[in-house]
Structure 1
Amino acid sequence: MKQNSTLATVALIITSILLSLYSPAQNLITNSNFSNGATGWNGGCIVEIHPEPVYGGPNASNYVTEIDGETCLDQNVCIMPGFTYQLTFRATRRADANTPSTASISIKVRGNNSNTNYLNQAKGFNNTTFNWTTQSYTFTVPANSSDKTINIHIKDNNNSGTFGVLLDDIELHPQTDMAINGASSAVLNATYNYSVSNGPSSGITYNWSMGADASTATSTSATPSTKWTSAGNKIMSVVISNSSCVVATLTKNISVAGALPVTFTSFTGVIKDNKAALSWSTTNEVNNSYFIIERSINGRNFDSVGRVQAGSNSANNYSFSEINNNSSSYYRLKQVDLNGTFIYSAVITLKNAGSSREMTIYPAQAVTTIQYVIANEVQATATVQVFNMAGQPVISQKEVLSTGLNNRSLNVSHLAAGAYILKLQIAGTGVTAVKKFQKI
């Protein structure tokens, strides 16, 4: 691993996440805040744009438009049938004595091919001070519509004068935004697949640009795949078009990290007879120094239980074993580079398969009690059960076993005559002892 490559990888991932969080939603309106003057707005309308203070507002850096008896707004927008859209804007009555007490505007959305009116609303404003309010309208273009573009037209509704309603931040969004699906973090020379979520199933073309040093630089597939041959932050984009115009352009930031110092191809283990046996395989080892084996009983807090030196080849097989009396354990590997940097493997969970232990019982034919004798390494709690031949428990109790040889008695006087199984399980060890006896 190169110096600080782990930190660099983390930084790339964080950058990618932040960029994704703050990516703008899909606003289909051109020049929605009038920062580029009247660009995108025409359609035979006179468009009047001035800084807010011209109309009595406080923000000199904010440009707005006025809808009155002489002005209007008109724009054609590329859309996809089968979507519900939300049209929003900020509006306020121009607070002037010459403005009608209730200034009203008309908002219309019409299909350019079908001439269908998808939205036809009037809205009045009677505020007496400069006060922006957000207006919102929704409409649906059916999936079978022939419309590839719509016309948005906003005009005065009841005023022939030159004082009316101010508008700003006019936006149109599909209610279900499309997005690029796929990994935001990648590793050199590994292949990744991408697609567009919520995109229509037909009538659409895709033009992908996969970013710098991508093995597949461009694609027209709905589900392209690619890999990158250099590390760094890559910008992927896709232009989505219908047969008439560009519907949307989506982007995604991909952080491509350098190859890891070790690739774990397998990591497995088993616990049997209170002994844990682990094995793992690697490939692409570069500057690997050693592995630390870590164990946990809760999956959160890990302790080091062993160390294995790195092999001499680029691909190696490793093993490790230890005594483990726990009923279950979690293991992970900490791979350490020559320069001290490290990575962790995935965590595996192992169940103790347990072991059988010799137990003596007498008499073989019991009348009132039986004696059972079993040795134990340390003091522990055991569950003692008696089962009938149908597998049903008829006795169940706890016993504390001491270190060394344990000779205990069990009352069976209440049992019906017949054959029974005595089963003893020592907690935390997986040890089980089983014996058959006869009640007469």
Structure 2
Amino acid sequence: MNETVRTVGAKTIACAMLALTALCVSMPLRAEAAEPVDAGPFTVEGPEGGYVYENGKLVISSDGVTVLGMDGASAADDEGNDIHIEAGVSRVTFESGVSIESLTDERSTTLWLNGDNNAIQTLDSARDTVVRGPGSVTIGSCTGGADITEATVSLTSSIGNVTVWKGGTLVLGPGAQARAITVFGGTLDLSHVNAVDPVWMNGYSIGSAAVATSVVVPFGTAGIDELISATNRIVANATIDVYSDGEKVGHLEQDGTVYYTATRSVTFVGFDGEVLKAEHVRLFQPAQAPAVPEVPGYEFLGWDGVFDRVSRDMIVAARYEALSAPPDNSSGNPDDPSDAPGNDSSGAVPNGPSAADSHAPAAGGRATGASAESSSLSATGDPFAAVVGMLASLGGIGGAAGLFMRHTMRKSS
């Protein structure tokens, strides 16, 4: 019995293996990817017969074609770098650095971007072209419209209707124009738009309650109307984040103005560098200066910075000027000559001329009073005057006077 079971089991396994072998043989084998080939200025990979380069144009007729890049040697020649996608193609993949003069899309082909630095000068599409993938492309002008999901599309000229979905980014450059823009998620980048030359369009609608949406603007933009000139404007909600220079700086109000929530630090320092006040101020709002303590011998002149519209972190220092030294009015009587500036109570002149010079006549003038008489007497050069003075100092006043009279009579005779 057991032997019979073993025999039947072995036959069953053998039959199953034969059936599996037959099934594997009958299944078509997956074709190996074709080797990349140069097709004009392009390097292309795809199924045989799925593309051809002729008459200066790469014609793509089936799915599975990938344009890997540009062939440097051929691209240096004058070969055309146009691409024509036929109606039966649903998707074409582009890697990095693909430069296309003109791309014609007969249908609504998905352009899948795997890499960056791709460029299409003119996109001619019968319907809206779908642009997807993690890469990026710059489009000069587009006769139709575009649906952008995940990919980054930079526009430098005109386009029809553009819809940006979750994960997509539309970058509008200077001179860009659009019939209408709808942002249902993703990012609208206006950071390259000059406020003096806004982008023109019929209308725009930005925001979705279900999907995060953001707008990128130049630093200091007051509102989106500075950057887009449109007849019809809709900002769906006030939860649209606004970015500048990579920083989240606020959100977009429903009237299109930017409400800045990011802050900058402002620190006020005093005479010796001590911190008087430190605060965080919302961007483009004024800071409030603190009271300034008095510093003996110095006058406060103001602050060394402008802080009425704060746009950066700041340290603002107080400015002081030294006061002049006050006069020394010892007696408190302004009419007292001894209290005049530069004189002390003894009559000396600090830091002025010496006492010997205090009676010198002014240049070209004449001394007056006792000082003039003394000056005249000493100027005679008569040695008799010295003798008279000495006798007077010794107490011989009478003798000195008699001697002085005889001397005078002798001289007169």
> Where on the TM-score scale, by shorter chain, does this alignment land: which range?
under 0.3
- Taking structure 2 as the reference length, the TM-score comes to 0.24
Larger Rg: 2
Choose between structure 1 and 2: higher helix proportion.
2
Choose between structure 1 and 2: higher strand proportion.
1
